[in-house]
Amino acid sequence: MAKIKVRHPVVNLEGDEMAGVIWKDIRSLLIEPHLDIPIETYDLSVSHRDRTGDAVTLEAAHAILRAGVGIKCATINPDAAKRLELSLSHPLKSCNGSIRAVIGGVIFREPVLCPGAPTLVRRWTKPIVVARHGFGDFYSAAELAVPGPGKLTLRFDGNDANGKAISLERTVFDYPGPGVALAIYNLDESFREYAQTCLRYGLQRGLPVVFSTKNTVLKLYDERFKKIFQDVFDEQFKVDYEREGLTYEHRLIDEMVATALKGEGGFVWACKNYDGDVQSDFVAQGFGSLGLMTSILVARGGAVVMTEAAHGTMTRHYREYQAGKAVSSNPIASIFAWSRGLAHRAKLDEDSYLQRFAMELERACRETVGAGMMTRDLAQLIGPNQPWLTTKEFLNQVAARLDLALAHDGRREAPPPHQLDEFVSTHAGQARSLLGRRPSGPKGRAQLGAAPP
Ligand code: NAP
Ligand code: MG
């Protein structure tokens, strides 16, 4: 069968350890046999980042901005022990943090739901997409060790909305003895952008959006965030949401945690920075395995996307691999990094063949698990006697199903409505205009069953 010719490049970001091994297998077994695609590769393995003084990470980030699509393997975020183990000479920053500093955007984490793979929270039958605000709060806080008794004040010197000089000051606490202090900040503009990105994403995906804060305690800080989110919804999204039968609401974070656990899923959970950090791990585990958790960074109004698995490099599994043992790491989230990245490429290029390939790749993963063939992490959820495959055996099964699906071409029925399909189709116009490209062909779901040339 002829390969699908893809016109524009994707940026491939290579990584470390077990994730890096699986990454190469995914390319050779699932991508390269079917796609004739320009792939710009950047080696973000920790040793290469170290050799380049981390310049390669910045180059990669700018390449993603140019191409509109980055597909990233997990990378080591070295701590002191890792620096010693690998004899690293540079104090490398978090790879993802460096990339985000260049392209900005919001991270959405979402589980892959596979029939036959039970979730740990059995009620969750629909995805919960956790969004995390990535600016300010605790992650850029100013901390102070208070040595003894004294007064702590919060003071602002600057201008008011009309440009007039102003000073604001309030007493935080009268310390009777030693302790600690912390100040955090945020920006209206960052709140606004976050609200827009989350609400646009909910609309694309056909999912209601819930935003959670602790506005009962932070009556000014969180209340401002809540108000801006509501204003953005009322002014820019309300009509579209009503038309699509979707909802937006704000909830107290405590109530939201309880509601999420009681429900069946099926919503975008827009979180503040710290809540998103914590709740994304809670949700990931609730859905069963880190190997099913995908992560997508949506930037520049949806025009630029970087996809990856939410898990790390799986050091423990890599040690087993190095010792020559059979490894059963789950490659699904890494495969979905490819399928979602390629789907974005398809959306930008209005390429229905590539779009269909991305859907078939995801379908092949789900059907393989549905047929009872899975890696150990999923098998353990079913029970101790459930048989499991090694990573390589699982990948071979997915490859066989994918080959079959693509070979069927026109004989296979058009795929049913699918979350990727919605993700792909909705934002094509806007993304294209942001990148200054013209549409180059017909679009729409009707084409999805068409045979590649
Ligand atoms: P990890 O790589 O996510 O793995 C932790 C454990 O979670 C594994 O040992 C395994 O549990 C389970 N797990 C994760 N992914 C799995 C999969 N696909 N299939 C089956 N089980 C899976 O976290 P880590 O070991 O703490 O971190 C290793 C390195 O990754 C660190 O250097 C860290 O900085 C980096 N990291 C990178 C990223 C990124 O690039 N986005 C994200 C997180 C961490 P069992 O051992 O019980 O099988
Ligand atoms: Mg976390």
Mean pLDDT in the chain? 88
Enumerate the CATH 3.40.35 domain ranges in the chain, comma separated: 119-139+188-287
pLDDT at 136: 85
pLDDT in the model for residue 414? 42
Answer yes or no: is the C-beta of 330 below 6 A from any ligand 1 atom. Answer: yes
- What b-and-e string marks burial along 94-133, b requiring 16 or more CB atoms within 10 Å of the CB? ebbebbbeebbbbbbbbbbbbebbebebeebeebbbbbbb
CA of 151 to the centre of ligand 2 (A): 34
pLDDT value, residue 97: 83
Query: Is the C-beta atom of 377 inside 6 A of ligand 1?
Result: yes
Pick from 153-157, 283-287, 315-319: least confident: 283-287
Q: Check whether 428 has a pLDDT greater than 70.
A: no
Mutation choice for ligand 1 from 13, 287, 314, CB with most ligand atoms inside 8 A: 314
Quote the ligand 1 centre to 314 CA distance (angstroms).
4
pLDDT at 453 over 90: no
pTM for the full predicted model: 0.84
CATH number for the domain formed by residue range(s) 119-139+188-287: 3.40.35
Q: CA-CA distance, 67 to 69, in Å (whole number)?
A: 5
Task: Give me 107's structure tokens.
Answer: 């991270």
Is the CB of residue 118 below 6 angstroms from any atom belonging to ligand 1? no
The pLDDT, as a whole number, for residue 79 is: 87
Q: For 131-140, write each residue's pLDDT tens digit.
A: 999 888 887 7
Tell me the per-residue pLDDT of 7-51, one tens digit each, with 9 for 90 and over. Answer: 999 999 999 999 999 999 999 999 999 999 999 999 999 999 999
Secondary structure, 3-state, 375-415: CHHHHHHHCCCCCCCCHHHHHHHHHHHHHHHHHHHHHCCCC
Q: Which listed ligand is nearest to 285 at the C-alpha? A: 1
Distance (angstroms) between ligand 2 centre and the Cα of 429 equals 34
Name the closest-CA residue to atom 41, ligand 1: 74
What CA–CA distance (Å, rounded) separates 219 from 149? Answer: 28
**pLDDT band for position 409 (50/70/90)?**
low
Q: How confident is the model at residue 56 (pLDDT cuts 50, 70, 90)?
A: very high
pLDDT score recorded for residue 80 = 86
Q: Give CATH superfamily name and number for 1-112+293-453.
A: Isopropylmalate Dehydrogenase (3.40.718.10)
Q: Which ligand is nearest to the Cα of residue 276, counting in written order?
A: 2
> Is 301 touching ligand 1 by the criterion CB < 6 Å?
no
- Read off the pLDDT band of 92 (50, 70, 90): confident
Which of ligand 1's atoms lies nearest the C-alpha of 330? Answer: 19
CATH 3.40.718.10 placement within the chain: 1-112+293-453
Name the phi and psi angles at 294, rounded to 5.
-100, 160
Q: How confident is the model at residue 415, as a pLDDT?
A: 46
More confident: 384 or 228: 228
CB of 155 closer than 8 Å to CB of 168 = yes
Q: Among the bound ligands, name the one nearest to the CA of residue 290.
A: 1
Residue having the nearest C-alpha atom to atom 44 of ligand 1? 312
Please check whether residue 382 is in contact with residue 369, taking contact to mean a CB–CB distance below 8 angstroms: no
Is residue 64 a contact partner of residue 70, using CB atoms and an 8 Å limit? yes
